[in-house]
Structure 1
Amino acid sequence: MAQPAGSDANDVDVLIVGAGLSGIGFAWHLQTHCPTKSCAILEARDVLGGTWDLFRYPGIRSDSDMHTLGFRFRPWRGEKSIADGPSILSYLKETAQAYGIDRRIRFGHKVIRASWSSEEARWSVDVAGPDGAAQRWTCGFLQMCSGYYDYDGGYTPGWPGMERFKGVILHPQAWPEQIDYDGRRVVVIGSGATAVTLVPAMAERAAHVTMLQRSPTYVVSRPARDPIANWLYRRLPERIAHTMARWKNILLQMYFYNAARRKPERAKSTIIRLAQDELGDGFDISHFTPRYNPWDQRLCLVPDSDLFKAIREGRASVVTDEIETFTESGLKLKSGEELSADIIVTATGLKLKMLGGLQLFVDGNKLELGTVLNYKGVMYGDVPNLGATFGYTNASWTLKADLTSEYLCRVLGYMDRHGYAVCRPHNSDPNVTADTSLPLNSGYFQRAAGTLPLQGSRPPWRLNQNYARDLVALRFGRVDDGTLQFGRAQVSRLRMTAHVSAG
Structure 2
Amino acid sequence: MIKAKSDVLDVVIVGAGLSGVGAAYHLQARCPERSYMILESRAAMGGTWDLFRYPGIRSDSDMYTFGYAFRPWTGGKVFADGPAIRDYIETTASENGIDTHIRYGHRVVGANWDSDKALWTVTAEHDGKRVEFECRFLMLCSGYYRYEKGYMPDFPGRDDFAGEIVHPQLWPEDLDYSGKRVVIIGSGATAVTLVPAMAQSAAHVTMLQRSPTYIAARPSRDGLADALQRVLPGKLAYLIARMKNIALSIYVYQLSKRFPAFVKRQVIKHVREELGEDFDVETHFTPHYNPWDQRFCLAPDGDFFEALRTGSASIMTDHIECFTESGIRLKSGAEIEADIIVPATGLDMQLAGGSRLSLDGMPVTPAELFTYRGMMLGNMPNLALAFGYTNASWTLKIDLTCERVCRMLNYMERTGTEIAVPVPPDDLQPAPMLDFSSGYVQRALPHLPKQGSVAPWRTYQNYIRDMLAIRYGRLEDGHMRFARAGEYRPRLSHTALRRDVAE
TM-score, normalising length from structure 1? 0.95
Residue matched to 1:224: 220
Give the partner amino acid of 1:294. P
Give the partner amino acid of 1:471. M
Shift of 1:10: 6.0
Quickly say closer, same or farther: Cα 1:428–1:325, change in 2 above 3 A: closer
**Residue 479 of structure 1 pairs with residue 475 of structure 2:** yes
CA RMSD of aligned residues (A): 1.1
Deviations along 1:29-87, one digit per CA (max 9) or x if unpaired, are 00110011010000000000000001000000000000110011010001111111101
Distance in 2 between residues matched to 1:35 and 1:332, nearest whole Å: 60
**Segments of 4+ moved more than 4 angstroms:** none
Distance in 1 between residues matched to 2:215 and 2:326, nearest whole Å: 30
Distance in 1 between residues matched to 2:433 and 2:417, nearest whole Å: 35
- SS state of the match for residue 405, structure 1? helix
Give the partner amino acid of 1:267. V
Question: Among residues 258, 267, 274, which one is paired with 1:262 in the alignment?
Answer: 258
**Residue 171 of structure 1 pairs with residue 167 of structure 2:** yes
- Contact 1:16 / 1:42 at 8 angstroms: preserved in 2? yes
Residue matched to 1:379: 376
Quickly say closer, same or farther: Cα 1:10–1:277, change in 2 above 3 A: farther
Residue matched to 1:312: 309
Residue matched to 1:202: 198
Question: Among residues 282, 298, 303, which one is paired with 1:301 in the alignment?
Answer: 298
Residue matched to 1:147: 143
Shift of 1:439: 2.5
- Contact 1:393 / 1:439 at 8 angstroms: preserved in 2? no
**Residue 412 of structure 1 pairs with residue 381 of structure 2:** no
Distance in 2 between residues matched to 1:69 and 1:230, nearest whole Å: 17
Residue matched to 1:354: 351
Residue matched to 1:240: 236
Distance in 1 between residues matched to 2:174 and 2:128, nearest whole Å: 29
Residue matched to 1:3: none
Residue matched to 2:93: 96
Residue matched to 1:495: none
- SS state of the match for residue 22, structure 1? helix
- Contact 2:433 / 2:448 at 8 angstroms: preserved in 1? no
Distance in 2 between residues matched to 1:101 and 1:262, nearest whole Å: 43
Shift of 1:436: 2.7
Distance in 1 between residues matched to 2:33 and 2:113, nearest whole Å: 23
- Contact 1:68 / 1:250 at 8 angstroms: preserved in 2? yes
- SS state of the match for residue 113, structure 1? strand
Residue matched to 1:365: 362
Residue matched to 2:124: 127
Distance in 1 between residues matched to 2:177 and 2:7, nearest whole Å: 47
Residue matched to 1:338: 335
Shift of 1:428: 2.9
- Contact 2:376 / 2:384 at 8 angstroms: preserved in 1? yes
Distance in 1 between residues matched to 2:195 and 2:141, nearest whole Å: 31
Give the partner amino acid of 2:330. L
Distance in 1 between residues matched to 2:7 and 2:440, nearest whole Å: 35
Distance in 2 between residues matched to 1:30 and 1:9, nearest whole Å: 22
Question: Among residues 41, 44, 50, which one is paired with 1:44 in the alignment?
Answer: 41
Distance in 2 between residues matched to 1:437 and 1:480, nearest whole Å: 24
Residue matched to 1:500: none
Deviations along 1:119-177, one digit per CA (max 9) or x if unpaired, are 00000111101x12110111000000000000000001011111011100000000001
Distance in 1 between residues matched to 2:145 and 2:313, nearest whole Å: 29
- Contact 1:61 / 1:83 at 8 angstroms: preserved in 2? yes
Deviations along 1:432-471, one digit per CA (max 9) or x if unpaired, are 3111363311101111121111111100000010000000
Distance in 2 between residues matched to 1:398 and 1:213, nearest whole Å: 30
Quickly say closer, same or farther: Cα 1:142–1:335, change in 2 above 3 A: same
Gaps of 5+ in 1: 1-6, 492-503
- SS state of the match for residue 236, structure 2? helix
- Contact 1:297 / 1:440 at 8 angstroms: preserved in 2? yes
Aligned residues: 483
- SS state of the match for residue 450, structure 1? helix
Shift of 1:429: 5.9
- Contact 2:19 / 2:141 at 8 angstroms: preserved in 1? yes
Give the partner amino acid of 2:71. R
- SS state of the match for residue 64, structure 2? helix
Give the partner amino acid of 1:330. G
- SS state of the match for residue 301, structure 1? strand
Question: Among residues 60, 64, 67, which one is paired with 2:57 in the alignment?
Answer: 60
Gaps of 5+ in 2: 488-503
Distance in 1 between residues matched to 2:214 and 2:448, nearest whole Å: 25
Quickly say closer, same or farther: Cα 1:19–1:437, change in 2 above 3 A: closer
- SS state of the match for residue 332, structure 1? strand
**Residue 186 of structure 1 pairs with residue 172 of structure 2:** no
Shift of 1:490: 2.9
Distance in 1 between residues matched to 2:291 and 2:322, nearest whole Å: 31
Deviations along 1:473-496, one digit per CA (max 9) or x if unpaired, are 0000011112100111139xxxxx
Question: Among residues 65, 82, 87, which one is paired with 2:84 in the alignment?
Answer: 87
Give the partner amino acid of 1:314. G
